[in-house]
Amino acid sequence: MFFLILILTIGAYAQEFKYPYNPLTERDPLRPLIDEEGNILIKEKKEGSSFVLQGIIYSPQGSVAIINNELLHEGDALMGQFKVKKIESNGVVLEKEGKEYFLKWEG
């Protein structure tokens, strides 16, 4: 009986615990750090980049990009400054003041 109460107490605590993992800013803990040949797979963070391309749903009829937890189509505005110019199968072209930036999909 004691063990049942202990397990229920631990289970309730685990459900309330807020894990400090942020998928927008931290590495996926389930991805390997090295490949089979021993090459390091960790890419250094680029300072100043505030966009995280989380996914692309690519279709000739209309594609969708997921950037910073936001679903975006071509022509949509991002953070009020950037425009989603084009969604490709390997990345997204953003435009700001006539200059283009490419967010590469590394998934």
Q: What is the pLDDT of residue 35?
A: 81
Q: What is the pLDDT of residue 92?
A: 94
Write down the pTM of the prediction: 0.55
Counting residues of the chain whose pLDDT is more than 70, the rounded percentage is: 66
Res. 46 pLDDT band, cuts 50 70 90: very low
Looking at the DSSP bridge assignments, the partners of residue 77 are: 83
Kindly report the CATH number that applies to the domain delimited by 29-104. Answer: 2.30.30
Q: What is the pLDDT of residue 47?
A: 44
Instruction: Give the domain ranges of the chain.
Output: 29-104
Residue 22 vs residues 18, 28, 70, 101: alpha-carbon distances, Å: 11, 9, 15, 25
* Residue 82 half-sphere exposure toward CB, CA atoms < 13 A: 21
